[in-house]
Structure formats: C-alpha cells, structure tokens
Amino acid sequence: MATDKQERVGIILKRLKKEYSGKPKTALAFQTPFELLVATILSAQTTDVQVNKVTPALFKKYRTIRSFADTPAEKLAQDVRSVNFFNNKAKNIRKTAAMIMDAFGGAVPQTMEELVTLPGVARKTANIVLHSAFGIESGIAVDTHVKRVAYLLGFTKHTDPVKIEQDLMAITPKKEWGNLSHLLIYHGRAVCQARKQLHDACVLRDICPSRNK
C-alpha cells in the first residue's frame, strides 16, 4: 500500500510534468558523456547559464578526453576562469580526464561506484551523468533546489544531500528518479525560490505543507 508521501510524489510528478511540458532534462549543454561530466563539475556553485557560456568554446578547443588530460591545469583554469573556484575545477577536470584514459580505457564509466572515484565527482554529479548521458537510474541528484523543495514539501528533514537522496528514493519509483530531480530543479528556479516561495503561482499549493508558513 502506498504511503502518503508516495501518493504525493506521484501527484507532484504528474503536475510538474504538465507544468513544465516536454521531457525533463538537464539545462547543461553537452554532446558526449565526457562533455556532460565536465559541465557538471564546472556547475558546482555556479549557474548552469554561466557554465553554458563557457563550455562551447572549451569543447571546441579541447575535442578529446586526451586533450584535457594533456593540458596543464593552469591553462585549463584560464579557459574556465569565469566560473567559481575555477582553479580547483580545472585541476579536477584534468585529473579526471587522465584517470578516464588510464583506468577506464578512455570511456566515461557507467556505474556510481566508478564515477565517484574520479576527482571532483560526488554522488550528485554522478547521478546527473548516469541519468542524462546513459539513461541509468542510480539515484537522485540533490542540488540546492532539490534540497529546498524536498524539505518544503515535507519529504525530508535532513540537510545532508546523501540522506535527502535516500529519503526521496524511498518514496519515488525508480524509473522517475532522474525526472524528479529535474522537475524539482525547474520548480525551485521558477516558483519555489530561495528568497520567496510564490505560493499563489504554485501548482502544488494544495498539497504542500509549507504553503501557510
């Protein structure tokens, strides 16, 4: 028998799919799994809009995983300097590219266990790559929007992303894990914003426990 939270997740998925028409997908622009991996690493504490301004020229300049691995981190850093923490991200991207070439035969790995061994890659990044590049449902990517909206909807009381992910996975059909993350991100950006939740414009207001707070 479905729990109250499971029933509400089902309703939320249906409503948000209708509200944000089209197949839910990442806002990051990419052509290959490695490009998505790089873009996701760059997106930490940086908007997807800013990342999408950087990556077209980056991927045109460095066309292969080997080219990223062979480029000094200092040079990569200058190519991504408009994103936050660009020095550390450049180092991680170079090390990740080298590890993919040396340990994974030049192909982005397709398991959570392998992806999180890459520098700069935690569960959120791995989930995004697995779902959006390979169609693999391994978990639910929890960013700041998912964290906030899940809490306001009463689906979690935790602040740790891993525990939030576990709470959401327990009440969401596996086939919808990736979709739920994308839809909560859409809703967090458009309506359930950090500074002010726009309850009057929310299609979930009648089933949201935070609407009167």
> At a CB cut-off of 8 Å and minimum separation 6, what does 100 contact?
34, 65, 69, 106, 107, 108, 109, 118
Q: Where are the domains of the chain?
A: 4-25+139-207, 33-134
Would residue 143 show up in a list of annotated catalytic residues for this protein? yes
Tens digit of pLDDT for each residue in 3-15?
799 999 999 999 9
pTM: 0.92
| Helix residue ranges, H only, 71-122 | 73-79, 86-103, 112-115
Catalytic residue among 124, 175, 196, 200: 124
Assigned CATH class of 33-134: mainly alpha
Catalytic residue among 5, 79, 95, 143, which?
143
- Token duo for residue 200: 């009057």
Q: Do 29 and 55 touch, CB atoms closer than 8 A?
A: yes
79 catalytic per annotation:
no
pLDDT band at 2 (very low <50, low <70, confident <90, very high): low
Q: Which CATH number among 1.10.1670.10, 3.40.109.40, 1.10.1580.10, 3.40.718.10 corresponds to the domain 4-25+139-207?
A: 1.10.1670.10
pLDDT higher than 60, residue 1: no
